[in-house]
Amino acid sequence: MIASIEKIAFTTVAHGGTIADIEVSDAFQVGVAIDVDSIAGTPTSVRAVAVALNGAEVLGSATEHIRKTADITAAGTAFLGQRGTAVGEVAFENVYKVIRVIADFTGGTAPTITGSLYIFKKRF
C-alpha cells in the first residue's frame, strides 16, 4: 500500500469557484484538507465542498456533496470531514475519477479565499 500527499495552492477563489480539480482514479481511499491563508470580503463563514466530476458535468452541489468542512470563520486548517450535517470519516472510500473542491460562502461582499489544498491518497 502506498500513501501520498499532494499540495495545490490557490488564490482569490470566489463563491462557487473551483479551488481544485483532483485526479483520484488511482486511489481507493481519499482525504482532503484545506489550509486557508486569508479570507477577504468579510463573509460570515466559508466552506470547502468536495463534489464529483464526470467529464465536464459536476455531480453535486454544496448540499449534495461527498465531503465538506465545517464553517470556517478565520484563517486556519480544516478537514473536509462532514457529510451533510453529520461528521463523517475524513478519509472516504473512493469510487470517483475526479473530485472538484469548490468554495461556498455565507454573506460578505465579494468574498474570496486564498490558501492551499492537501489531498491524501491511499492506493495499492
The domains of the chain, with CATH numbers, are 2-123 (2.60.120)
Distance CA(20)–CA(99), nearest Å, equals 8
What would the pLDDT profile of 4-32 be if each residue is shown by its tens digit? 999 999 999 999 999 999 999 999 999 99
Q: Does residue 114 surpass a pLDDT of 90?
A: yes
Note the pLDDT of residue 60.
Answer: 66
Q: Which of 108, 100, 94, 116 is nearest to 27 (CA)?
A: 94
What would the pLDDT profile of 19-74 be if each residue is shown by its tens digit? 999 999 999 999 999 999 999 999 999 999 999 987 667 766 777 789 999 999 99
Instruction: Specify whether the CB–CB gap between 96 and 24 falls below 8 A.
Output: yes
Predicted model pTM: 0.91
Q: Does residue 77 surpass a pLDDT of 80?
A: yes
